[in-house]
Amino acid sequence: MDWLINAVYYVVPFVVLLGILVFVHEFGHFLVARMTGVCVEAFSIGFGKVLWSKTDKHGTNWRISAVPLGGYCQFLGDGDASSSTADEKAVELTEEEKKHAFNFQNPYKKLAIALAGPGANYFFAILVFTGIFFFLGKISFPPVVGEVFPDSAAAEAGIQANDRILTINGHKIEHFDDIRREVDLITDGKVEVELLRNEQPMTLNFKLKELEVSGMDGTITKRPMLGVKSVNAIEIEYQKLSLWNAFKNASIETWDITAATLRGVGQMITGKRSGEELGGIIRIAEMTGDISKQSGVLDFLVFMALLSINLGLINLFPIPVLDGGHVVLYVIEIVTGREISNQVKDVLFKLGFALIVALMVFATWNDFVRLFHRWFA
């Protein structure tokens, strides 16, 4: 019976979440393709064996396939689902059909279609945040300890996970970000922390310890810190925002998340941050299940918006096979005024595919190691 409960909490929400985000991404490609006159032959959620399909009046075959780990839009004249190669029979298309085949379009149209997928993910995230901010209020992370770093001041003082920090040196703590703000103001290293543990108030007095921290420019410095990490839960600041202010704040939130993600990726590339933090599809499923078991609909919506931003951002990376790789090629064609040969594209996309597979294997290994420690540590 336990396996059935876990399937409900982990598998079902994960499939629903991924299905929504893939649909949003591919619908962005689909919508701009239709607007620019490109024929979409197939729109699939998932890969592999087709479980359900229906063809609309425009000739697009809408599909739900057996492996729900992605999706694709296949345009007229495509040789594969990623639009990286042309169908060998594309040359046999009539002149009228070539007007609606993807590979015979000018690079400006191709560029717009390639950007539409990541753009749709970003727009979807902004809409989710706008709805939350407008109807409920701003989201914030509560001052609840999710993790205590080893050998930190917090660890030595006895601070534990799930402790809620109430004050630092007499100053009220309302949000997790307030912790760093108050700690940064301490000059003598001495700190008094009032916290709530299992509804029981406690007061701890101790001295801060220096820990390494990454700056905005990626440099590593040492500064006095508590050594705690936030939980994945959120709280709502109930304040009335106009629709415009909600949209404005949602756009800022989306930008901040993107900037933070890029800094993290940059630190991994330069070796200033461990590659063990890189997670894959199993990690996403694990986090989705944890949220569905322990949190509510609001947390699920916020997590979906975060993943949508990450999906859009990752697809903009200039790696062949991803949308970003296509974008680079189309920009080169626009600048040079010449189309890149199919042979060059084929080599680039094979290299890009190999890189993506290597990253997926590495991320999956990290996921299994993390799960092993979670289950057996």
What mean pLDDT is reported for the chain? 84
Give the per-residue pLDDT at 279. 77
Percent of the chain topping pLDDT 70: 86
Give the per-residue pLDDT at 217. 45
pLDDT digits (tens, 9 = 90+) for 78-136: 766 656 555 556 667 788 888 888 888 999 999 999 999 999 999 999 999 999 999 98
Give the per-residue pLDDT at 148. 86
Report CA 244 to chain centroid distance, whole Å. 25
Tokens coding 249: 């704040």
| All structural domains of the chain with their residue ranges | 145-230
Of the residues 26, 210, 212, 276, which is catalytic? 26
Amino acid residing at 315: N
144: which strand partners? Answer: 164
Q: Is 92 a catalytic residue?
A: no
Does residue 4 or residue 96 have the better pLDDT?
96
pLDDT at position 169 over 80: yes
Closest by CA position to 76, among listed 56, 99, 106: 99
Mean pLDDT of 264-274: 71
Phi, psi of 188 (to 5 degrees): -100, 0
pLDDT digits (tens, 9 = 90+) for 175-213: 787 888 788 778 788 889 999 998 899 999 988 887 766
pLDDT digits (tens, 9 = 90+) for 281-327: 877 777 777 777 776 788 889 889 999 999 999 999 999 889 999 99
Contacts of 178 (CB under 8 A, 6+ apart): 143, 168, 171, 172
Give the per-residue pLDDT at 112. 96
Neighbour tally for 371: CB within 10 Å = 13
Q: What is the CATH T-level fold of the domain 145-230, as seen in this structure?
A: Pdz3 Domain (2.30.42)
